[in-house]
């Protein structure tokens, strides 16, 4: 409530520039990494071919970005620290086709308001350079200065005048990690630009201008990753997608190695992240994130980059078409990676353990000759193999007459055995593979159901006597509305009483249907915030049904059952992972075996 005399007093005052800039800084400048990002983007906008980044104490003491770009004339320099001063945008209409990384004219004003800054700049054709200082919002005059071509922006003592923000800065190592992340994303986004970064006098990161995207990935994340990538290259009208995706086995717990670049701008947009997730559904293990480096190019007028202060999110004018385009081509690319889970990885683990043990041995040998040595653990690959060898049947097949001949001939390609009632070992032309019977059966069943759904007819196996499932009253209620939709995916359910559902039939493809578990899974899937009739939910229900109703670990299988399972797997586009993205098989190539037996 406002009393009349209060209302008559003016309480609104226009904030000073300094306060306004500090507030803006709160939005855009969170930590040293945000400063590095803004400065580097400015350098790139100025046409730099090389960025030199110097840091002290994780960037909290000093950040200096020096570029070889176009530089600024004196008149521009005098405006650089003024808010909403930009050379990149003149009128609102320009917002429709932004091609530069910056455009809001906020960054330098914000940074100047919360640090001690200096810009030194010289244009290529200018006889002399200029410099200007901004100390926490107090902007000095432009002064003549000797300088190389290009621009150098120095930011010292970030948040020196905003103690509340300064307290929020983390340890040097943490801030540095954020800075490195920004630099790596920039380096990956901008082929043709070289970057060197130094921290406290030591080299932190560098890429040469001539390196292409794959070479940059190799430098940043190592050869193992770079060499396993499959390229993506797709185009649809003005839309183009290029870059690389990694095989599913390299997926990670977080999205730190998922990078999207839109028209050269690194971004973390929800639509793009969702598209990649969707493309990976059922291929990459559910709670893992794919590794990918993707460049998207499109007409700048089809995307609004001005929806987020740090421009990390954008708004696509036609996100449905974009989404479909991305999912299709990304999925296709991922299936082109080597989806097999190579036994080689087990050997690598074993090798590392070997080396560690050898080191330990050496340590024990020298000063304490009498101390008993740590027991040598068997190699991981032998751990995998040992249950195989314990099974009599395997020993027989391996010690067949061919065992004197090279490894390539045993076991015979196509020959298989069940091991521990859980795995199937099968000969390949150049080695063997170990298959998880449950994982493969689940994948085969699910793909069959999906194909049925695609055709619009999931065949139901009906029973003479329905199976009754006891539920709570509200569970029955929740289910009632969706019975027709469930009917379409082969689940023939009916309400039998206030607290009972009758299961009259389930998809005929389910080898060992478990009615009660399936009904409960349906309920669990539907409580998610997703539309119950949607394709996504129906697929999720089928996924779970496939999982529940497949051959389990521990189930004895006949030779015919195994043969049928393997044959059906081979007909699929992708039988390398189960529907949750776990591998269905681990492959031991001849080369893996040679390594394991130190024949090479």
- Residues within the interface to Mg ion (CB under 5 A): 42, 102, 107
Which one of ligand ADP, Mg ion, none is in contact with 105 (Cβ closer than 5 to 8 A by kind)? ligand ADP
Rounded to the nearest whole angstrom, what is the least distance from the CB of residue 120 to ligand ADP in the complex? 10
Q: Which residue, 35 or 226, has its beta carbon nearer to ligand ADP?
A: 35
Rounded to the nearest whole angstrom, what is the least distance from the CB of residue 225 to ligand ADP in the complex? 32
Q: What is the dihedral of CA 470, 474, 476, 479, to 10 degrees?
A: -140
Give the bridge partners for 530, in sequence order.
none
Lookup: tokens for 587: 């492959």
d(CA 469, CA 87) in angstroms, rounded, equals 69
Which one of ligand ADP, Mg ion, none is in contact with 284 (Cβ closer than 5 to 8 A by kind)? none
Q: Which residue, 70 or 490, has its beta carbon nearer to ligand ADP?
A: 70
Which one of Mg ion, ligand ADP, none is in contact with 176 (Cβ closer than 5 to 8 A by kind)? none
Footprint on this chain of ligand ADP (rule: CB under 6 A) = 38, 42-43, 46, 67, 69-72, 76, 80, 85-88, 102-109, 151
Phi, psi dihedral angles at 39 (to 5 degrees) = -65, -40
Rounded to the nearest whole angstrom, what is the least distance from the CB of residue 104 to Mg ion in the complex? 7
Q: Which residue, 103 or 416, has its beta carbon nearer to ligand ADP?
A: 103
Q: Which residue, 139 or 444, has its beta carbon nearer to ligand ADP?
A: 139
Which one of ligand ADP, Mg ion, none is in contact with 334 (Cβ closer than 5 to 8 A by kind)? none
List % helix, strand, coil for the chain (3-state, nearest 5): 40, 20, 35
Q: Is 267 left (phi over 0), alpha (psi -120 to 50) or beta?
A: beta
Q: Which residue, 80 or 489, has its beta carbon nearer to ligand ADP?
A: 80
Lookup: tokens for 531: 């539309």
Q: In whole angstroms, how far apart are CA 253 and each of 173, 249, 257, 258, 505?
A: 21, 12, 10, 11, 39
Which one of Mg ion, ligand ADP, none is in contact with 69 (Cβ closer than 5 to 8 A by kind)? ligand ADP
Q: Which residue, 101 or 334, has its beta carbon nearer to Mg ion?
A: 101
Phi, psi dihedral angles at 507 (to 5 degrees) = -50, 135
Which one of ligand ADP, Mg ion, none is in contact with 104 (Cβ closer than 5 to 8 A by kind)? ligand ADP
Q: Which residue, 79 or 489, has its beta carbon nearer to ligand ADP?
A: 79
Which one of Mg ion, ligand ADP, none is in contact with 130 (Cβ closer than 5 to 8 A by kind)? none
What is the torsional sign of CA 263, 265, 268, 270?
negative
DSSP alpha helix (H) spans, 135-235: 163-168, 172-189, 213-221, 223-227
Is there a contact between 381 and 350 (Cβ–Cβ < 8 Å)? Answer: yes
Rounded to the nearest whole angstrom, what is the least distance from the CB of residue 84 to ligand ADP in the complex? 9
Which one of ligand ADP, Mg ion, none is in contact with 43 (Cβ closer than 5 to 8 A by kind)? ligand ADP
Q: Which residue, 38 or 344, has its beta carbon nearer to ligand ADP?
A: 38
Residue 269, CB half-sphere, CA atoms under 13 Å: how many? Answer: 26
Rounded to the nearest whole angstrom, what is the least distance from the CB of residue 48 to Mg ion in the complex? 13
d(CA 208, CA 219) in angstroms, rounded, equals 10
Rg, C-alpha atoms of the chain: 31
Rounded to the nearest whole angstrom, what is the least distance from the CB of residue 106 to ligand ADP in the complex? 6
Q: Name the DSSP letter for residue 585.
A: E
**Burial, 571: exposed, middle or buried (Cβ in 10 Å; 0-12, 13-18, 19+)?**
exposed
d(CA 578, CA 580) in angstroms, rounded, equals 5
Which one of Mg ion, ligand ADP, none is in contact with 289 (Cβ closer than 5 to 8 A by kind)? none
Which one of Mg ion, ligand ADP, none is in contact with 154 (Cβ closer than 5 to 8 A by kind)? none
Rounded to the nearest whole angstrom, what is the least distance from the CB of residue 100 to ligand ADP in the complex? 7
Rounded to the nearest whole angstrom, what is the least distance from the CB of residue 88 to ligand ADP in the complex? 5
Is there a contact between 135 and 114 (Cβ–Cβ < 8 Å)? Answer: no
Q: Which residue, 102 or 583, has its beta carbon nearer to ligand ADP?
A: 102
Rounded to the nearest whole angstrom, what is the least distance from the CB of residue 101 to ligand ADP in the complex? 7
Rounded to the nearest whole angstrom, what is the least distance from the CB of residue 216 to ligand ADP in the complex? 22
Q: Which residue, 52 or 544, has its beta carbon nearer to ligand ADP?
A: 52
Q: Put the strands of the sheet holding 500-507 in their side by side order.
A: 460-470, 500-507, 492-497
Which one of Mg ion, ligand ADP, none is in contact with 427 (Cβ closer than 5 to 8 A by kind)? none
Is there a contact between 442 and 547 (Cβ–Cβ < 8 Å)? Answer: yes
Q: Which residue, 42 or 397, has its beta carbon nearer to Mg ion?
A: 42
Q: Which residue, 300 or 487, has its beta carbon nearer to Mg ion?
A: 300
Rounded to the nearest whole angstrom, what is the least distance from the CB of residue 355 to Mg ion in the complex? 49
Lookup: tokens for 99: 């091609």
Lookup: tokens for 227: 């060499």
Which one of ligand ADP, Mg ion, none is in contact with 438 (Cβ closer than 5 to 8 A by kind)? none
Rounded to the nearest whole angstrom, what is the least distance from the CB of residue 245 to ligand ADP in the complex? 32
Give 151's contacts (C-beta < 8 A, 6+ positions apart): 42, 43, 46, 66, 67, 69, 71, 72, 119, 120, 121, 122
d(CA 330, CA 243) in angstroms, rounded, equals 10
Q: Which position has the token pair 């005399």?
A: 5
Lookup: tokens for 138: 């107090």
Which one of Mg ion, ligand ADP, none is in contact with 76 (Cβ closer than 5 to 8 A by kind)? ligand ADP
Which one of Mg ion, ligand ADP, none is in contact with 88 (Cβ closer than 5 to 8 A by kind)? ligand ADP
Q: Which residue, 220 or 263, has its beta carbon nearer to ligand ADP?
A: 263
Give the bridge partners for 423, in sequence order.
419, 436
Which residue of this chain has its Cβ atom nearest to ligand ADP in the complex? Answer: 102
d(CA 440, CA 451) in angstroms, rounded, equals 17
Q: In whole angstroms, how far apart are CA 551 and each of 129, 394, 444, 464, 556?
A: 76, 22, 11, 24, 9
d(CA 273, CA 300) in angstroms, rounded, equals 20
Rounded to the nearest whole angstrom, what is the least distance from the CB of residue 30 to ligand ADP in the complex? 16
Q: Which residue, 102 or 343, has its beta carbon nearer to Mg ion?
A: 102
Rounded to the nearest whole angstrom, what is the least distance from the CB of residue 144 to ligand ADP in the complex? 18
Q: How many residues does the chain have?
A: 600
């Amino acid at each position: 409530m406002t009393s009349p005399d209060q209302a008559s007093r003016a309480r609104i005052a226009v904030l000073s520039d300094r306060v306004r800039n500090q507030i803006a800084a709160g939005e855009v400048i969170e930590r040293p990494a945000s400063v590095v990002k803004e400065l580097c983007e400015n350098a790139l906008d100025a046409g730099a071919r090389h960025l030199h980044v110097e840091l002290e104490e994780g960037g909290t003491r000093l950040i200096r970005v020096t570029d070889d770009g176009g530089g600024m004339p004196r008149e521009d320099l005098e405006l650089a620290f003024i808010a909403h001063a930009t050379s990149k945008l003149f009128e609102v209409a320009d917002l429709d086709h932004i091609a530069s990384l910056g455009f809001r004219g906020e960054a330098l004003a914000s940074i100047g308001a919360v640090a001690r800054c200096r810009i030194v700049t010289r244009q290529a054709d200018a006889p002399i350079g200029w410099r200007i200082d901004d100390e926490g919002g107090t902007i000095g005059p432009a002064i003549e200065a000797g300088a190389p071509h290009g621009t150098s922006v120095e930011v010292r003592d970030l948040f020196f005048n905003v103690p509340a923000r300064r307290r929020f800065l983390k340890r040097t190592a943490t801030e540095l990690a954020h800075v490195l992340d920004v630099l790596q994303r920039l380096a990956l986004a901008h082929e043709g630009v070289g970057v060197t970064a130094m921290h406290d006098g030591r080299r932190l990161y560098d890429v040469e201008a001539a390196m292409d995207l794959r070479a940059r990935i190799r430098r940043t994340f190592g050869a193992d990753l770079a060499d396993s990538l499959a390229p993506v290259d797709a185009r649809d009208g003005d839309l183009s997608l290029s870059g690389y995706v990694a095989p599913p086995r390299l997926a990670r717990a977080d999205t730190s190695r998922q990078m999207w670049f839109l028209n050269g701008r690194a971004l973390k947009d929800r639509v793009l992240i969702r598209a990649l997730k969707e493309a990976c559904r059922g291929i990459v293990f559910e709670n893992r994130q794919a590794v990918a480096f993707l460049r998207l190019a499109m007409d700048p007028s089809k995307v609004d980059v001005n929806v987020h202060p740090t421009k990390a999110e954008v708004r696509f004018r036609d996100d449905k078409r974009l989404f479909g385009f991305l999912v299709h081509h990304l999925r296709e690319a991922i299936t082109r990676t080597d989806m097999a889970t190579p036994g080689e990885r087990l050997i690598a683990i074993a090798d590392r353990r070997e080396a560690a043990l050898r080191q330990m041995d050496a340590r024990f040998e020298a000063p304490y000759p009498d101390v008993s040595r740590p027991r040598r653990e068997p190699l991981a690959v032998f751990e995998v193999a040992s249950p195989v060898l314990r099974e009599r049947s395997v020993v027989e097949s391996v010690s067949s007459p061919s065992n004197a001949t090279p490894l390539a001939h045993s076991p015979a390609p196509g020959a298989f055995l069940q091991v521990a009632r859980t795995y199937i070992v099968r000969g390949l032309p150049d080695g063997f593979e170990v298959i998880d019977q449950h994982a493969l059966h689940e994948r085969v069943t699910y793909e069959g159901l999906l194909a049925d759904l695609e055709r619009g007819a999931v065949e139901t196996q009906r029973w003479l006597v329905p199976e009754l499932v006891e539920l709570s009253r509200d569970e029955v209620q929740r289910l009632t509305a969706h019975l027709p939709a469930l009917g379409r995916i082969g689940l023939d359910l009916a309400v039998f009483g206030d607290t009972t559902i009758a299961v009259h039939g389930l998809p005929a493809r389910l080898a060992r249907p478990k009615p009660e578990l399936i009904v409960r899974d349906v309920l669990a899937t539907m409580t998610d915030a997703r539309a119950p009739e949607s394709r996504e939910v129906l697929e999720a229900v089928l996924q779970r049904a496939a999982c529940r109703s497949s051959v389990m670990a521990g189930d004895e299988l006949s030779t015919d059952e195994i043969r049928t399972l393997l044959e059906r797997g081979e007909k699929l586009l992708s039988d390398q992972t189960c529907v949750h993205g776990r591998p269905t098989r681990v492959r031991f190539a001849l080369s893996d075996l040679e390594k394991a037996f130190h024949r090479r």
